[in-house]
Amino acid sequence: TERVLTGITTTGTPHLGNYVGAIRPAIAASREPGVESFFFLADYHALIKCDDPARIERSRLEIAATWLAAGLDTERVTFYRQSDIPETPELTWLLTCVCAKGLMNRAHAYKAATDVNAAAGEDLDAGVTMGLFSYPILMAADILLFNAHRVPVGRDQVQHIEMARDMGQRFNHLFGQGRELFVLPRAEIEEEVATLPGLDGRKMSKSYDNTIPLFGGGAKGLKEAVARIVTDSRLPGEPKDPEGAALVTVHDAFATPEQRSAFHADLRAGLGWGEAKQRLVNLLEGQIAPMRERYVELMAHPERIEEVLQHGAAKARRVATPFLAELRAAVGLRPML
C-alpha cells in the first residue's frame, strides 16, 4: 500500500487555493485502490502564526467541516488533529537533534521574515520565534511519523517536503543500521493549480488577504469575491489574452478541458470581463453549492465533528505509538530491560 498524507494550518477560513491545491487532490488520491490516507488539522502549526485562541478554535472547526463536506470518507481516511497526536512533538525533538541549523536558515518562511527585517534596517531575527524558525521540523515529523509516500500540496509547500526528505534520510543514515526507518516522501503537485492566484493576481493566501473563501459568505459572498478579481481594462468586444489572467486561472482550476478552451476562445473573441465573471460564478457555484449545504449542516453539529476527530486520533495513534517506540529504541532510548 501507498500512504498519502496532507494537512492544513488552522488559522483561517479555507479558500479556493486550499481546495484545489490540497483538499481536492488529496480526496481523489484517497479513493485510489491500495491507498491509505492521513489528513489532519495542523493546529500546532497554527500557534506559530496566531496567538488568538478563539480564532484557532473557529478555524479548526471550519477546516474540519470543509474536509468532510468535500467528501472525505472517514471510514477510509484517517482524519485527525495534529495536537491529538503526542508522538508528533516527540518525533519533532528527535528530528530537531539531527537537523542542521543551516537547513532551517534557508527555509522560505524564515527567510521572508529576515528579508523584511533587513529591508527595514532591523535586527534580522526581530519578531522571529523558534516556532517559526523550526516550522519545517514539525512538518517533517507530521509526514515521517506516518511514513507517507505522497504529500499532495500546493507549490509553496514543496521546499518543506524536500526538507522532510533530508531529515528522514539523515535519520535513516544515522540510526537505521542499514534499514529504512523512514519512507522518504515526495510532494505531489498538480501543475495547473499549484499556485492559484487570488483577487489581486498574487498567490491566493491568508497572509495577503486576497482569498476567495470556499464557503464563507455563502453564494452571495462568492459572487462578491469574484467581482473583486482584478482584470485588465479591456472593454467588451475587445480581444482578451487569457494567459496569465487570474480570473482565467481560477476558472480553469474548476473547468473541464472543453470548458477551458471554450472560455479562452470566447475571451479572445471579445467576451466582456463582467460576463466572464458571471460564467465563473456559475461554474464555481455548480461545484461548491452541494458541498456548502453539507458544510452548513456540519457546522451546526460540532459534537459530530469532535467525535469524528477523536475516532481519527485513535486510529492515527495505533500507527504512531508503536512506530515511535521503534524510533526511540533506534536512538538509544529503549527501556533497560
Can you give the binding site for ligand TYM, defined by CB under 6 A?
5-9, 17-18, 21-22, 42, 45, 139, 142-143, 151, 153-154, 156-157, 193-196, 203-205
| C-beta of 149 vs 271, nearer to ligand TYM | 149
Q: CB-based burial of residue 282 (10 Å sphere; 0-12 exposed, 13-18 middle, 19+ buried)?
A: exposed
Q: Whole-number minimum distance, CB 196 to ligand TYM, in Å?
A: 4
| C-beta of 199 vs 276, nearer to ligand TYM | 199
Which residues, in sequence order, are CB contacts of 284 under 8 Å at separation 6+? 16, 222, 226, 254
| C-beta of 25 vs 242, nearer to ligand TYM | 25
Residue 17 labelled as part of a binding site: yes
Q: Do residues 185 and 162 touch, judged by C-beta distance below 8 A?
A: no
Q: Whole-number minimum distance, CB 47 to ligand TYM, in Å?
A: 12
Q: Whole-number minimum distance, CB 161 to ligand TYM, in Å?
A: 7
Q: Do residues 49 and 11 touch, judged by C-beta distance below 8 A?
A: yes
Which residues, in sequence order, are CB contacts of 206 under 8 Å at separation 6+? 11, 12, 15
Residue 11 labelled as part of a binding site: yes
Residue 207 labelled as part of a binding site: yes
Residue 18 labelled as part of a binding site: yes
Q: Whole-number minimum distance, CB 39 to ligand TYM, in Å?
A: 9
In 94-125, which positions are buried (b, 16+ CB within 10 angstroms) versus exposed (e)? bbbebbeeeebeebebbeebbeebeeeeeeee
Cell numbers for 259: 470548458
Q: Whole-number minimum distance, CB 77 to ligand TYM, in Å?
A: 14
Which residues, in sequence order, are CB contacts of 239 under 8 Å at separation 6+? 267, 268, 269, 270
Residue 286 labelled as part of a binding site: no
Which residues does the annotation place in the binding site for L-tryptophan?
A: 142
Which residues does the annotation place in the binding site for ATP?
A: 9-11, 17-18, 154-156, 196, 203-207
Which residues does the annotation place in the binding site?
A: 9-11, 17-18, 142, 154-156, 196, 203-207
